[in-house]
Amino acid sequence: MSHDTAPDPAAPVSALADLTGRAALVTGASRGIGYAIAAELLGRGASVTVTARRPDELELAVRELAAAAGDPEAKRVLGVPGNAGDDEARAEAVARTVERFGGLHILVNNAGINPVYGPLMDADLGGVRKIFDINVVAALGYLQQAHRAWMGQHGGAVVNIASSAGLRSTGVIAAYGASKAALIRLTEELAWELGPSIRVNAVAPAVVKTRFAAALYDSGEEQVSRAYPMKRLGTPEDVARLVGFLASDAAAWITGETVRVDGGILSTGSLG
C-alpha cells in the first residue's frame, strides 16, 4: 500500500499492524532498545537490517534475532557493522538493505551516545560535538540516504528514538538532553518536509533498563522507580511495541509526533 493512501477503515487492527513484505533498518541494534525494536519488527513480519559498531556483538545479535523469529538461516535478518557517524557506513547499510530485501520501508534511528555527564560549564566540547554528531546529524544522514535510495520514490515510515531528557531538563545529562531536543525538532521539520508519502515520528523514553542507561539507576533501582507513577523502570520491549505501532499502517495519520513512553514520570513535573 502506498504511504500516501489511507488504509481501509474496515481493516482489522491485526492487518494494519502487519509488516510482512516490508524492509526495515534499525541502527544501534546489537543490544538494548535497538535489539528489542528489531525483534518487534521481525515479529510483525518485516525483514530487518541491524547495525552496530562492534562486529562480534552484531553477529551474535543477528543469530539470536533470527532464531527467535523462526528464521534459522537469517533470511530476514541482515547485520551491517559500522559507526553511525561515518558517511560511508550509513550509505552501505542503506544500500545493502535495498539490495538484500528489495526496498527500505522503515527506518529507526536508534543509535545514540552519551559520553558527557554533569554541568555544561564543565563539559568537554569535543564530547558535546560527538553527541550531536551521532544523536542528531547521523539520524538525518541515514534518512538522506534512505530517501535517495528508496523512500523518496516509494514512501515509508521513520521513527527517531529521542528521550524524555529532550523534553525536560535533567541537570545530569544536559548535553544528551539538548541533543534529543534537537532530534525532536528535527522530527517535526522532516515530517512537514516529507509528507504525505513519508511519515516521521519520535518516541521519548524515560529511564529504560539497559546497559546504556545503567548509570542512572545502578545506585538504587527501587528508589529511582518510586518516582514513577507506574512504580517501575521501562523495559526495551515497552519502547519497541510503540515503535512497531508507529511504523505500521495503524499509525497512518500520525506524523511529526513525539510520543512519551515514560511510565508517567513527566506528568509528575520532574525526571526523578
Q: Where in the sequence numbering do the catalytic residues fall?
A: 176
* Amino acid (one-letter) located at 94: V
* Amino acid (one-letter) located at 122: D
- Give 78's strand partners: 49
Residue at grid coordinates 564530547: 127
Q: 148: which 3 cell numbers?
A: 535517495
Q: 70: which 3 cell numbers?
A: 523462526
Contact 206, 267 (CB under 8 A): no
Q: What is the DSSP letter of 19?
A: -
Q: Exposed, middle or buried, 88 (CB in 10 Å: 0-12/13-18/19+)?
A: exposed
Q: 171: which 3 cell numbers?
A: 541537570
Contact 229, 266 (CB under 8 A): no
Dihedral sign from CA coordinates of 52, 53, 55, 61: negative
CA 235 – CA 87 distance, rounded (Å): 31
Residue at grid coordinates 530476514: 76
SS3 152: helix
Contact 250, 46 (CB under 8 A): no
CA 233 – CA 263 distance, rounded (Å): 7
Count of residues for the chain?
272
